[in-house]
Structure 1
Amino acid sequence: MFDPTDLYELAADLPELTDPVLLYHFDGFVDAGNAGRLALGHLLAGSEHRVVATFDVDRLLDYRSRRPTMVFDTDRWVGYESPELALYSATDAAGTPYLVLNGPEPDREWELFVKAVTTLTERFEVSRLATLHGIPMGVPHTRPLGITMHASKPELVEEQTSSFGRVHVPGSAAALLELRLGARGHDVVGYAVHVPHYLSQAEYPHAAVTGLEAVSRGTGLVFPLDELRTAAERTTADIEEQIRASTELSTAIAGMEQQYDAFAAGSDRESLLAEPSSMPTGEELAAQFERFLAERDDEV
């Protein structure tokens, strides 16, 4: 049997931690608006952090499905962006240490990877694990973003009305981690931020802010969000500019607002997941935004 600790290498100087929270997100699965990637990237970029453990990406990744970037200069190769999947220690705005597990989603050896994370979770006596990502929903950006919570224990989920019943979906390493750790009695919570489907392929900082605010409420960690909020405001201003310049977009968003308001009032409980024939699909709306941007580029 393979030893899961062979999948990672611990740093020489390990931090002193007391029941830390562990936040995790893996790039490569569904993450509408890049909510999870922006959120954890913001936390690591905005605070001092250090590597606690590095995973063996040569064993976990399929380079041919996600080829790393290399740099060619004139007549030779001069750089290689090596993918990194690592566990970091960081400190929140109140001085509380926590852990961040971040990097590309493993392509292989999921079960062994989960066992490896489990050994780290138990080694550092992690009190709770939390993950966040974005999911595309039929909601307008002009209304508050919703969140669907899921957790390893029912009591960890805040009171909510879920739009989902029992469904079969493609698996992910993050979901398997929650399932397996939950079976061992660990507290794991996930936050799926509802991102407007016409913005799901873009970077939408507002989704990252909403997700981190939810994580903060659930874990007690305090995150500096001013820079991320400023980015969200700029993005919203750009979106509004596009909408004002297009009657087609304005009409579509107005229709989505009516649909959302009916859902919020309880008169249409299926509307956020449905794609009524009178409404454009997320792909159609996204295409309209792309056409608008292309026209603006041509005019410059």
Structure 2
Amino acid sequence: MDVYGATKRAVVGKGLPVVAVVDGVFDAGSTLASMRRSLEAGLESTPLAEFDADLLVDHRATRPRITYADGGFSDYAPPRLAVDVLKDELGNEALYFSGAEPAFGWERVAAALGGLLDDVGAGPVTVVHAVPLPVPHTRPVAIRRHGEKSGERVGPFELPASFAHLLETRLVQGGREVVGMTIPVPHYIAESEYPPAAVAGLEAVAAQAGLAVPTEELREAGREVDARIAAQIEDNPDAQRLVAGLELRYDVESPALGAASALVAEGQHMPDGDELAAAAERYLRTVTLDPSELREAGPSAGELAGPVETEPEQGPEQREHPGDPGPASPNPDGVDGPRA
């Protein structure tokens, strides 16, 4: 890991919040990718540290992009795993750990990042995930927090680990304050871009890290996506039943956030994972979808519905309120280091 000294000296002692947006097992709805694009395009960025992606990232699994024009190749874009300092228009700053999931050296990378955060005296860490879950696109995206000491007993549940999961674990074990944020994406459209999930994630990051992040373009794209989904399910009874079942589940769970009691009233039927998966598969077999809008999930539809049973692992469901002020305050006397 290369650390840029000037930038490091400029952030030491500020207690800057940390946001981690790293690829993992899922990037449902291309949520993390959309969040990274918005953060990097909308905020000033100064490199603080960069890992050797040439050694750590599986280039075959995460294919870099390259341009072919006029008979030759150019503009090769290698994968990047790095820590940057983000600054918004109000002068608020945060550390931003982002990029491709390392294929090797998970423990080493987590330890190196933890050491860097200790060296600069960083503040609380927010780790963002996006997973396909049985939630309806017709309801607000409700961020699910974990890592907080709520006292609620859930699990244990086993699931495929990502580097971001390990990072959370090691940072907590190292004594850092860490909050995980899982962004649920409707499982029946998880393979397509779903901007509303990215907007919810950015709002959560803005509240947690105190950053003003532009989201209007994503909001407009989200309205267009929601309109296309509504048009495609309007005349499809299977799709309507699927969404109605998910709406029922959502509406019953929402008033009981974090409650240990039953989520349904006596005698009330709630569709289980098998029913949701079967409805999703019937829907995907019968509806004709435009690949640029809602790509077919094919044989993975059942798998995407699977998290119904593992959902409690994500912890109590929390709604984010965009109007809430973030905890961070501007640092008018802060000076960014030079770009490397």
Fold conserved (TM > 0.5)?
yes
Deviations 1:37-62 (A, max 9, x none): 22232111111212222210121012
Alignment partner, residue 10 of structure 1: 3
User: Does the 8 Å contact 1:260/1:271 carry over to 2?
Assistant: no
- What root-mean-square deviation, in Å, do the aligned CA atoms of Structure 1 and Structure 2 show? 3.1
Q: Which residue of 1 aligns with 2:199?
A: 209
Q: Pick from 173, 178, 192 the counterpart of residue 183 of structure 1.
A: 173
Deviation sequence 1:242-282 (CA, Å, 0-9, x none): 22254443343233323433444631699999324376354
Aligned-partner Cα distance in 2 for 1:267–1:244? 28
**Which residues of structure 2 form unaligned runs of 5+?**
256-262, 294-340
Distance 2:270 2:200 in 1: 18
Cα 1:24–1:263 change in 2 (3 A) is: closer
- Kindly provide the amino acid, as one letter, of the partner of residue 267 in structure 1: V
State the distance in 2 between where 1:76 and 1:223 align. Answer: 38
Number of corresponding residues: 283
Cα 1:65–1:35 shift into 2, 3 Å: closer
Q: Secondary structure in 2 aligned to 1:214?
A: helix
- CA shift in 2, pair 1:233/1:78, >3 Å: same
Partner of 2:290: 293
Q: 1:267 aligns with which of 261, 264, 286?
A: 264
**Deviation of the 1:194 alpha carbon:** 1.7
Q: Using CA pairs below 8 Å that are at least 6 residues apart, which structure has the higher relative contact order?
A: 2
Residues 7 and 46, structure 2, Cα contact 8 Å, conserved in 1: no
Hey, what's the Cα distance between the residues in 1 that align with 2:90 and 2:101? Answer: 30
Structure 1 residues 278 and 19: alpha-carbon distance in aligned structure 2, compared to 1, 3 A threshold = closer
Deviation for aligned residue 1:229: 1.9
Which amino acid in structure 2 is aligned with residue 280 of structure 1? A
Question: Does 34-43 or 198-207 show the bigger shift?
Answer: 34-43
Relative to structure 1, is the Cα distance of residues 177 and 268 closer, same or farther in structure 2, using a 3 angstrom cutoff?
A: farther
Partner Cα separation in structure 2 for residue 248 and residue 281 of structure 1: 6
- Structure 1 gap segments, 5+ residues each: 1-7
Task: Choose 227-236 or 48-57, whichever is displaced more.
Answer: 227-236
- What's the offset of the Cα at 1:294? 5.8
Q: Tell me, in whole angstroms, the C-alpha distance in 1 between the residues paired with 2:235 and 2:253.
A: 28
Aligned to 1:40: 36
Q: Does 1:257 align with 2:232?
A: no
- 1:103 counterpart (84, 99, 111): 99
Identity of matched residues, %: 31
How far apart in 1 are the matches of 2:230 and 2:56? Answer: 42
Range 122-131 or range 240-249, more displaced? 240-249
Question: Counterpart of 2:90?
Answer: 94
The 2-side partners of 1:278 and 1:188 are apart by 33
Aligned: 1:239 with 2:226? no
CA contact (8 A) 2:135 2:187 kept: yes
TM-score (norm. length: structure 1): 0.82
* Residue pair 1:27, 1:105 contacting (<8 A) in 2 also: yes
Structure 1 residue 124 and structure 2 residue 120: aligned? yes
Under a length normalisation based on structure 2, what TM-score does the superposition of the two structures give?
0.73
Give 2:245's aligned amino acid.
G
Q: Judge which range, 93-102 or 108-117, deviates more.
A: 93-102
**Partner residue, 1:4:** none
**Could you tell me which of 65, 73, 77 is aligned with 1:77?**
73
Cα deviation for residue 283 of structure 1 reads: 5.0
Give the distance between the partners of 2:169 and 2:130, measured in 1 at CA: 19
Match of 1:220 among 201, 210, 213: 210
Indicate the residue corresponding to 2:140 in structure 1: 144
Please report how far the alpha carbon of residue 196 of structure 1 lies from its aligned counterpart in structure 2 after TM superposition: 1.0
